[in-house]
A and B are shown apart, each in its own frame.
Chain A
Amino acid sequence: MSEGPKPASENPEAGRPAEPAPLAPAGQAEPGAPAPPAAAAPKPAAPPAAKPAPKAEPKAPPPPPGPPDQAPPADLPVPGFVTALQTGLPGAVEHVSFWVGDWTVIVGAPRFAEACLFLRDASGCRFDYLSDLTAVDWPGRPEKRFDIVASLYSTILRQRVRVKARAADGEAVPSVTGVWPAANWLEREVYDMFGVTFTGHPNLRRMLMPFDWQGHPQRKDYPLEGPGELLMESPQDWLKARQAAVDADIE
């Protein structure tokens, strides 16, 4: 096999970041990031990758401890909306990431809605359009299992940014339905698929799965083939009970 991760390097801005840049005001890299060759930012003492036991498939490698969230190269100018957020809401931005042309700001989960509101209204940001809101499950990072990822676009300034918040399992994230009504169904889908709850959501119900479904299918420990019949309370249980009654009757 003559393969190898050798992306064509014609696109200069898409190259891997060369050296880390301590852009976060608190100088704090994210905990539990795997050490990619470039991101050698100072790390807290938290042991990276506690190697949780493989859950779903025995042959699968342990889940990765988290996204790399590469820091931007030092020579790349930071766009105005990132610095505006850093100065406008001091302490909210935990980390800034840049990868293949996309900027991502990582904020604390309690300040997610606040940061989104700032990005919508502040001059130089004006992210008035919520393109997408979703989540990523990182079971290898149990202390902050979920990434809530919002992709924003500005129809006024024609720019994009991603906002990311990390939330623990069971931790409620402030809803952004007050910022963009478009978040309504997207947050419902995240709740449905990941079990992340949003405080302040007007109507947090399941979106795609049946209303009495148990479990959250997009979690990594949820089996691909479904829960089987045991997890379902109804109607399979009901059918089984009925069948048992019929069998008993025949006998």
Chain B
Amino acid sequence: MQTDTPRPMFDTDELVINMGPQHPSTHGVLRLILKLDGERVVDCDPVIGYLHRGIEKLSENRDYTQIVLLTDRMDYVAAATNNLGYVETVEKLYSIEVPRRAQYIRTILSELQRVASHLLWLGTHAADLGALTVLLFGLRERELILDLFEEYCGARLTYNSMRIGGQPWDVPPGWARKVLAFCDVQEQKLPEYEQLLTGNRIFLERTRDIGIVSAADAIAIGLCGPPLRASGVYRDVRKDEPYAAYGEMEFDVPLGTRGDTYDRYLVRLEEFRQSLRIIRQGMQGLPEGPIMGKVPRLIKPPAGETYHAIEAPKGELGYFVVSDGKSVSPYRFRVRPPSFCNLQALPQLVKGHLVADVIALIGTIDIVLGEVDR
């Protein structure tokens, strides 16, 4: 190729295009302003806020028990873990002791939720890359989890399944058997997904070496959850700061080595197995006892503040609650949403890749816009 003679007929300006907010691959109302050089992405500016409902402000005007149901609406495909993070924060602030049986039920629910959330992630991620079968498979198994949740709390999406101080309901009769049966089914289905994706040439081409993040970069940019672990950082709130009954559970934290999209897929796939392991341990070791601790009629924590984080399916979900000691609603209610912090890394991830890879990278960081915007 000659370099000395410029070719005047072609214009080499950078092109700015708008992806979203209504786009089937942006998983909600995410708008990306992409600056392109041909097919390569030079720069990317995510624009968010289309689903901002002011949940933090609303929560500061409701009492502590009413907020549980607002937290459902943040990460609406993983409502149970949102509930868990919030109720544990208030319990920490109020020094409420939660019975062991309730802790176990919470652990089982949040691991079921993690499997459901990862199933939806796997299906949509694969569908974005053209493998529609996996989406159907994933939704098929997710349906079983939703049935289990429906039997436990009556709802299928926004569960409102936890209360400050314990659990509102005990395990329904026969539920334990169904949960264990589900674990067996899910275990059998995992090789099906792997068969479709892990060695799939198209999938490998689309995910390998796409969006590599080094461990140091991942920590600095604030990645959390599976993307952080895929970069090789051993960081799991369940292990580092055990909450609920995770201190009594045996499980491994899968780590990636390269930090690319394929590693993030492998890490999440292994998390399926670890979650099933935790569910089985929890169900088999479910202790007897009460499910509700001693909670005052009126939740009014003493003046103070605390930050408490849990490992949601998307990453570290933190709540920062300030109580003024006089009011029945929090003085300040802040959510540290994992999707928000992971989405922040997107511009760094997509630089230099093709437009088609942007789709893969939005999928791999697993965002839910309800949580990004709150």
Interface bracket on A: 35 or more
Q: Is the CB of B220 within 8 A of A181?
A: yes
Q: Is the CB of A132 within 8 A of B49?
A: no
The verdict on A218 contacting B296 (CB below 8 Å), with A7-B96, A131-B336, A208-B373 known, is no
Bound CA–CA A128/B97 (angstroms): 32
Query: Taking CB as reference atom, which chain A residue is nearest B48?
Result: A208
Q: Is the CB of A224 within 8 A of B49?
A: no
Q: Mark B82-95, 1 if CB is under 8 A from A, else 0.
A: 00000000001111
Within 176-230 of A, Cβ neighbours of B (below 8 Å) are at 180-182, 184-186, 193, 206-210, 217-218, 222, 224
B334 within 8 A of A: yes
Residues of A within 8 A of B306 (CB): 99-102
Within 47-74 of B, Cβ neighbours of A (below 8 Å) are at 48-49, 52, 54, 56-58, 61
Bound CA–CA A217/B55 (angstroms): 11
Interface residues on chain B, number (Cβ under 8 Å): 53
- Other-chain residue from A8, A100, A186, A208 in contact with B294 (beta carbon distance below 8 A): A8
B142 within 8 A of A: no
Question: Taking the nearest CB of chain B, how far is it from the CB of A127, in angstroms?
Answer: 11
* Most chain B beta-carbon contacts within 10 A, residue among A1, A2, A36, A218: A218
Q: Is the CB of A128 within 8 A of B219?
A: yes
Residues of A within 8 A of B294 (CB): 8
B21 within 8 A of A: no
Query: Taking CB as reference atom, which chain B residue is nearest A138?
Result: B331
Residues of A in contact with B (beta carbons under 8 Å apart)? 1-11, 14-16, 34, 36, 61, 64, 67-68, 70, 99-102, 104, 128-132, 134, 136-137, 149, 151, 155, 158, 160, 162, 180-182, 184-186, 193, 206-210, 217-218, 222, 224
Residues of B in contact with A (beta carbons under 8 Å apart)? 48-49, 52, 54, 56-58, 61, 92-97, 219-222, 233-235, 240-241, 293-294, 296-298, 300-307, 309, 316, 318, 320, 322, 324-326, 331-332, 334, 336, 340-341, 344, 373-374
22 sampled A-B residue pairs with Cβ under 8 A: A2-B297, A3-B296, A3-B297, A3-B298, A5-B325, A7-B302, A8-B96, A11-B95, A70-B304, A100-B93, A100-B306, A129-B235, A131-B336, A136-B331, A151-B336, A155-B219, A155-B235, A160-B307, A181-B221, A186-B341, A209-B49, A222-B57
